[in-house]
Amino acid sequence: MVQGRKMKMILLLIIQIVMAATAANVTYDHRALVIDGKRKVLISGSIHYPRSTPEMWPDLIQKSKDGGLDVIETYVFWSGHEPEKNKYNFEGRYDLVKFVKLVEEAGLYVHLRIGPYVCAEWNYGGFPVWLHFVPGIKFRTDNEPFKEEMQRFTTKIVDLMKQEKLYASQGGPIILSQIENEYGNIDSAYGAAAKSYIKWSASMALSLDTGVPWNMCQQADAPDPMINTCNGFYCDQFTPNSNNKPKMWTENWSGWFLGFGDPSPYRPVQDLAFAVARFYQRGGTFQNYYMYHGGTNFDRTSGGPLISTSYDYDAPIDEYGLLRQPKWGHLRDLHKAIKLCEDALIATDPTITSLGSNLEAAVYKTSSGSCAAFLANVGTKSDANVSFNGKSYHLPAWSVSILPDCKNVAFNTAKINSATESTAYARQSLKPDGGSSAELGSQWSYIKEPIGISKADAFLKPGLLEQINTTADKSDYLWYSLRMDIKGDETFLDEGSKAVLHIESLGQVVYAFINGKLAGSGHGKQKISLDIPINLVAGKNTVDLLSVTVGLANYGAFFDLVGAGITGPVTLKSAKGGSSIDLASQQWTYQVGLKGEDTGLATKDSSEWVSKSPLPTKQPLIWYKTTFDAPSGSEPVAIDFTGTGKGIAWVNGQSIGRYWPTSIAGNGGCTDSCDYRGSYRANKCLKNCGKPSQTLYHVPRSWLKQSGNTLVLFEEMGGDPTQISFGTKQTGSNLCLMVSQSHPPPVDTWTFDSKISNRNRTRPVLSLQCPVSTQVITSIKFASFGTPQGTCGSFTRGSCNSSRSLSLVQKACIGSRSCNIEVSTRVFGEPCRGVVKSLAVEASCS
């Protein structure tokens, strides 16, 4: 027994010694975060663990590392971890410890943004809705009930990380934590209480003794030692509030979020790379992409309101975990170029000089001889040739060239060396041998959701109730039901005309049923006003109004007080004018949620399912169920909901989120191409105008069995479920790229060897590689060395073209998975003198 205790004590001592040896000391100075006494240039990317699955995490993290990231940044989602007070969830997609440990295993750091307000286009900004009902609470201000709850949850997370030894001070990967989030954007609305609240937040966080620094983003008055950091499309002009703090960028928006009813925003990679290079050029040492992988708003987690289920964000890794090219590859090359400059960047501040109008040089030069330079053309229209250190350099408009030795260009933000790879949706039927829609329809069963009040917990209240206070967000759905008597001589029954039901709602969707039949509907983000012609009968009439939320507000001062639902007025008007009845003040019956939700139709078996034909379609309020086999292969799976209206879907009991393929984007704002030059904004680059905002919905592979999977839909609007299809998201077989003689050589070939002359340095190279390891290049659809025109998929030959282009490219590439072709007259000959020539290639893999 004594011997056993001694062994345990020895083992404990060994563990403590190992931990002490691996623990890191993380501090900061005016240049950078300092880890174990050494300044670090860090490149970070956001991946939100609940927006993907644990099975996806290792691949996402590895692709992030391969892309040149040092840090993974994530929010902590209070509403997911504590859906009911003191009832915690750290399992499945909310297994935060597992996620952090996987990042650690990959050799990366973690920035843990606890918040606990996160915004993030997440329902209610990440706050659990039960918080709204704490007596006396006021969110995000100097309010004792709120501060008590905020401190309790923040402490819970910090203690959990400490118990698992996950802070760098304990030998773990977490080098930085964040408290609060973008409060400086809206703090003026809270008056003097905002300042005391921020001071308290900082003091509370510091008292938790994590052993690593804390930051506050968008908080210019962040008290010491909090690091105030920048969020935005550009942060090169940002300055910390103390010369003792480093210049850090916590959110570089790699694209933008999608809303139902909106076109798809995207951000050209040339502009994104320009923003990053400008930040490091002007003294930055920590930059984070928001998002690096956006993922999916599963279940009812999307906020907004009206945020789509997809949270793709035009990120370098797309919603399904596939690389978005050339964005991922171009940024990887940028990161390599920046890291080539690291010794100079961490040693000193930049010396910035003007090279002309809109032209700028930043030089980092050390006493030991290290030298790195960034040359920028911030003009939006004209390319420029600049003289720097006795040499001439060509700078495209809105671009930065990086010179790790102050002489030779390793990278230019406007010149892409990574091929474009498209992705495609490969459709499969629900059954391997599925045939016509009629045949598929016979495989469906259904249950009709009752219109109006059907549950025993319905209740009466005079007047109209605000929805969030009534449902506590337990469901998207709230029924407002009213019975009224219409006398036979009233004008509401005049022949040849209809009465008009006027409804005003705070959003986001309203369906009006009169005597059990759908009379009209509407939707809106914050305000809905409907005038619905209706038929009434003499005697008793029933008005059933179904109000539907599509995510709760997540941003702005007092966003928690933004209401939803039918708050009135609601009036009944005679079609001929004159008489009207105020319905808002009458006695209404309320029902929170649906009968099918209460009986668990999405997750449990039920004897109520009806399988007989014909299957009712294009009718509101129907539950549908079918079974299907998983699509073959290992590619990510999606459902195309075209043919349905709006609702929520479950696969094997897991909610894949809200679907709404009938939500159509407006026709304005999209262009065939988007000029990357000039400041980016959220609506600058748009596509898919006039089309559904989202038709494809992600189904994680890990949720599927090989066969016998169950799909359940609640179709609220009315559609035909037999029209939907399963399929896989696949990296397309086409590759295309254009590289000019003025492109820098591949950054992988960079060398500091001063003995290599410019003549002998590697020339520009066009590189192609099939995205799948089992593929080879089977055909060359286009090849031209000279002055080719157009973009990927629409290349054309210019007036100058080498006749050897196609044959040389075919010889170099066909039959191989990858090929590298030098872009030079040495290879292709001289088709035209005095012109900078380019090589454009489009290839197919199979």
What does 675-718 look like in DSSP terms, one character per residue? --SS---TTTSEE-TTSBS--EEEE-GGG--SS-EEEEEEESS-
Averaged pLDDT score across all residues of the chain: 94
Other beta carbons less than 10 A from residue 494's beta carbon: 12
Among residues 82, 182, 421, 635, the one annotated as catalytic is: 182
Q: How is residue 14 written in tokens? A: 């060994």
- The rounded distance, in Å, linking the Cα atoms of 73 and 99 is 11
Q: Of these residues, 73, 104, 149, 251, which one is catalytic?
A: 251
Q: Global pTM? A: 0.95
pLDDT digits (tens, 9 = 90+) for 118-161: 999 999 999 999 999 999 999 999 999 999 999 999 999 999 99
Q: Could you please report the per-residue DSSP string of 780-802?
A: EEEEEEES-BS-TT--B--S-B-
Q: How confident is the model at residue 432 (pLDDT cuts 50, 70, 90)?
A: very low
| Position with higher pLDDT, 209 vs 437 | 209
pLDDT tier for residue 368 given thresholds of 50, 70 and 90: confident
To the nearest 5 percent, what fractions of the chain are helix, strand and coil? 20, 35, 45
pLDDT of res. 436: 39
Q: Flag the least confident range among 330-334, 360-364, 604-608, 660-664.
A: 604-608
What percent of the chain lies above the pLDDT cut of 70? Answer: 93
Is 148 among the catalytic positions?
no
Which amino acid belongs to residue 282?
R
Predicted confidence at residue 761, as pLDDT, reads: 60
Q: For residue 516, what pLDDT is reported?
A: 97
Could you give the CA distance from residue 83 to residue 94 in angstroms, rounded to a whole number?
11
Six-digit token pair at 678? 């000039």
Over range 819-823, report the average pLDDT.
97
Residue 91 appears among annotated catalytic residues: no
- Structural tokens at position 719: 């559609």
468 phi and psi, to 5 degrees? -65, -40
Q: Quick one: DSSP state of residue 643?
A: T
How confident is the model at residue 496, as a pLDDT? 57
